[in-house]
Amino acid sequence: MGDALTSNLVKRVLDSLFGLAKREIGYIQNCTQNVNKLKNEVEKLKDMRGRFQKRIDEAKDRGDDLLDGLQKWMDKADDEISDADKFLEQEAKAKKNMKTTYHYSKAARKKLALILQHHEDGKAYESCVSVSIPILLPGPIELYQRKNLDDIDTQNLALEKIIRAIKDDCTQIVGIYGLGGVGKTTLAEEAALAVKNLFADVVLITVSHNVDVEKIKKKVEVAAKRIMKGEKILIILDDVWEELKLETLCIPCGDDYKNCKILLTSRNIDVCTAMNAQCSIHIDSLVEKEAWILFKRVVGERVENDLTLKHVAKNVCEECGGLPLIIQVVGNTLKAKTIYFWEAALEKLKNAAPLDISQDIRKAYIHLKLSYDFLQSEDAKLCFLLCSMFPEDTLIPVERLTHYMVGLRQLHVINNIEDARNRVRIAVDTLRSTFLLLDGNNEFTTKMHDVVRDVALIIASEDNNNYFVRAGFGLMKWWPRRDELESYRRISLMQNSIRKIPDYALDVPHLDTFLIQENHNLSMISDAFIKSMIKVRILDMEHNNISSLPQSLKLLTNLRVLNLGGNRLFREISILGELIKLEILILHSTGIEEIPEEIGQLANIRMLDIKCCHGLSHVATGVISNFRWLEELYIGYHMTNKDDNNCLVELSELPTLTFLDLFVPDFDIIPQNVKFGTLKGFRIQIGGYEDDVHINKYPYLLSKRSVILCKWYATSPLLMHIRELIEVSDYLILEGIQNWNNILPSMYFEGFENVKRMIVSHCHNVSCLVDTKDWDYDPSLFKGIDEGYIKEKFLSRLELLSLQDMHKLEVMWKCPDRYISLGNLVKVDISFCDKLVRLFSLSVAKGLVSMKELSIKYCRCLEEVITVGDEIADIVFPALARICLIGLGHLKHFCSGHSYIYYPSLVDVSIIHCGDMERWGHEYHHTPKLTHVNLEPLDGPSAINNVIYQIREKNTNKPADAKADRYQEDVKRKISPRDAKYERSLF
């Protein structure tokens, strides 16, 4: 028995030793395999971390808090990835022998286990990364520009009633009603601006005739959470046509939520009554005297000084019926016209409107039709009618209007797409100047007042226009009779819920435009239907659910514009090669994985958009170089095999290419032979995620030359590959780079010294922008850079500096001020930099001679903007026009110390939710052009401190201290702070 035990023991020992030896030998044999597995898993962890970061950013935008443990997981992921990347870099450079092979293979296995475990731990956050605890973000009310209501007593009295009703604790729902164009929305916004300090937030939602419940619920989501937390919120429901159930819209209201106030506008008092408005206020048309005052403001004093014109103008003004919208439109239409135009206009205004027009827009029709008829630009007339094809109150992209105008060949003699774009912009500006169109949320969008749209649709149905518009009607299906659309040229069914359209032929011989985008359940277009519209030039099917196209599509030989973007199941595009007259082809956000050689037949293509096609990894050789007339290319190229042909090399063969929007995952995919400096514009994104987030955040980049670096890891050798690209860029955006703790001087020779506009966000390890502390003991760290090699001061060419979500940013620079020059800096925008305490020193502030805008938001530790110290000096900000300070909970003052500051150009200061702010500054602050701060009136040239005390008293319900009282007395006596201090020192 003892021998058996001994035998078993020996066997187990030998097995163990053999297994150990086998495992040790396996490390040597499987080194390459182990290292490759580690590389793959590191990339997977990077992808997971990147997904989480994107969702974290979205959560912050919504005002949500992160789930417990997520930030710790993210920090550990950063450490694991950084450690693995360094290891892989060392392994790649190491000389291989049996010893080093064994070492790296075994270490790779250990690190692989850690990476796999951390990846597994991250799955707990896959479904959700945040909990909802909203924070305040500036909304449209902060952006609203006040209207001049001086001497307009009708509207001023109505405004006072609205404000009183909102302030009344017994009134929860306030209604405003009146004719279309009478100024209901304007007064609602004016009232909201006047009372916004009483509320934690103000939310404005445009409801419109066709109610989109889901859209409203989404807009009110954050506000609803805050109401349920007890915060006081004002919700404006604008343009309500029928009774809305607040519970259906998920708006907490009623006895349990007295902290929620509702302000609604409607054309009908019955709607206000049905929605239980405790106070309904009627907005009257302007009386004759007030109408004339407004008319003169629009047209100018010319109508008062020219007696002949004045007589006609008075009659024209009377015909406007006291409606501010009509006065604006007619006044802007005629203000530059001769007396003959005025007389002709008066005759037209006296004519009756068609009897089949509804009573509530009959007067508006006469006046708006006049403005339309007086448009001298055919481009503007067509733009106006095309805008009516969009749903009510929606934002209209100017770029989309450009596509349609090109497709309709309206812009007959155009040199290129940019020329067409400029002509459309001019047309839109012409319409804006006459109030036929309104401003959108930026220069790239516009809007149409609902009354103007009503009239535009009437005009679009007259004469030879023949538009059929059912946009935003909530249609579930569309089954017209075969012959009922025979006379129509343009059909718009966009933004419905249509699932099916005819599977039979229609009689539409004149149809040139068919818009059916944003019907998300529409999955099929039939052969018979396509065959019906042989003459169609524009086919817009964006954001539907289409997976394939019928063979009859190749019969559309007149098609100039085809938009299939957003149909994520759509993959096979070979058939599109038959559409040889296509000039604009949009396939963004589809499921295409390759561009086949058939697409190279599109010899007339001017614009091709294949961005955000995440599976696109192959473009057939010769396709891009065949596009001899291509002017604009939007492409996301996810090249997976570096040995494959890089189609981007063919870009250098495109003689007419003027704009390139390009996404690539890595630096080395960008070809070296493309001369980016010859392009009028480009937008190059390297790394990160390919989506529309940068377009939404920075829409102006589409017309500039910009580089966006989103790589988690970036070094000088990698940046050298794109140095020339950086040097010719207008904008440089750095996002999510984690291996930097500063930007200069280590990146000085990579083109960064030439950058004019720099945006840095989510680079969470950057503690400062410039750090020269290592020069003192180890200049070799900067490859020979020292003071003698620097051609000029750091940041001296910078015009825009934006810093966002930089959680470790402590100071702007760690170097003597003599190394910094901000003389060309025009705009500074800083937000969510939690550790930043101070911004500019005295010597740097003195150099800010070009700065026009300064915006600082949600930097919770910031205590002062300008740090002066004990020195007494004069500072002049000659160009500074706007200062915006929002959510700076620890801000004590704008400027510390006792310097005298002059702001000769300052016109606008916003101070919102800066509850600890004690004063603007200690000494004299000369602001000759500043009249209001947060709607608080100023009294005296240096009275900004007085306003701070008033705002502080309102926000905290605390009386101003004795120093504040003394300062207010000094202001009233027109004594400067320095003289007052001297005066008091005598006693």
**Domain 153-282, what fold?**
Rossmann fold (3.40.50)
Q: Which of 781, 701, 704, 794 is nearest to 743 (CA)?
A: 794
Q: Which of 76, 82, 71 is nearest to 125 (CA)?
A: 71
- CA distances to 145, 609, 803 from 856, in Å: 20, 36, 10
Place of tokens 């790239």: 444
Q: H or E element: which one contains 60?
A: helix 31-62
- Which two three-digit tokens encode residue 107? 């270490």
Do 646 and 406 meet the contact criterion of CB atoms below 8 Å apart? no
Does domain 378-464 bear CATH number 3.40.50?
A: no
Q: Give CA–CA dist 21/27, Å, rounded.
A: 10
Q: Give CA–CA dist 516/498, Å, rounded.
A: 9
Burial 648-680 (b: 16+ CB within 10 A, else e): bebbeebeebbbbbbbbbebebbeeebebeeee
Return the SS3 of 653: helix
pLDDT in tens, 151-193: 888 999 999 999 999 999 889 999 999 988 889 999 999 898 8
Residue 360 CB partners (closer than 8 Å, separation 6+): 179, 180, 267
Classify 339 in phi/psi space as left (phi over 0), alpha (psi -120 to 50) or beta. Answer: alpha
Do 430 and 424 meet the contact criterion of CB atoms below 8 Å apart? no
Place of tokens 């829409």: 699
DSSP sequence for 68-135: TTHHHHHHHHHHHHHHHHHHHHHHHHSPP-HHHHHHHHHHHHHHHHHHHHHHHHHGGGSS--EE----
Q: H or E element: which one contains 872?
A: none
Do 326 and 320 meet the contact criterion of CB atoms below 8 Å apart? yes
Q: Give CA–CA dist 909/943, Å, rounded.
A: 13
Q: Give CA–CA dist 488/83, Å, rounded.
A: 66
Q: Which of 714, 708, 704, 719 is nearest to 753 (CA)?
A: 719
Beta strands 936-937; 932-933: pairing state: antiparallel
- Which two three-digit tokens encode residue 513? 């435009």
**What residue ranges of the chain have pLDDT lower than 50?**
13, 17, 20-21, 131-138, 777-784, 786, 788-789, 958-987
The reported pLDDT for the residue numbered 983 is: 37
Q: What is the DSSP letter of 609?
A: E
Helices (H) and strands (E) in the chain — how many of each?
28, 40
Beta strands 607-610; 584-586: pairing state: parallel
Q: Where in the chain is the domain with CATH 1.10.10?
A: 378-464
Q: Give CA–CA dist 321/285, Å, rounded.
A: 7
Do 657 and 630 meet the contact criterion of CB atoms below 8 Å apart? yes
- Which two three-digit tokens encode residue 856? 């600082």
pLDDT in tens, 666-706: 888 888 778 888 889 899 999 888 876 555 666 666 667 88
Do 600 and 623 meet the contact criterion of CB atoms below 8 Å apart? yes
The reported pLDDT for the residue numbered 693 is: 56
Q: Where in the chain is the domain with CATH 3.40.50.300?
A: 153-282
Q: Give CA–CA dist 315/337, Å, rounded.
A: 16
Do 467 and 489 meet the contact criterion of CB atoms below 8 Å apart? yes
- CA distances to 29, 420, 568, 964 from 407, in Å: 63, 11, 24, 65
Q: Give CA–CA dist 386/410, Å, rounded.
A: 12
Compute how many other C-beta atoms are within 10 angstroms of the C-beta atom of residue 567.
Answer: 26
The reported pLDDT for the residue numbered 791 is: 54
Do 718 and 711 meet the contact criterion of CB atoms below 8 Å apart? yes
- Which two three-digit tokens encode residue 599? 């697409």
Q: Is 283 exposed, middle or buried (0-12, 13-18, 19+ CB in 10 A)?
A: buried
The reported pLDDT for the residue numbered 549 is: 93
The reported pLDDT for the residue numbered 198 is: 85
For the chain, give the number of residues: 987
DSSP sequence for 745-807: TTTGGGTGGG-SEEEEES-TT---SEE-GGGGT-GGGGTT--TTT--S-BTTT--EEEEES-T
Q: Which of 945, 906, 947 is nearest to 927 (CA)?
A: 906
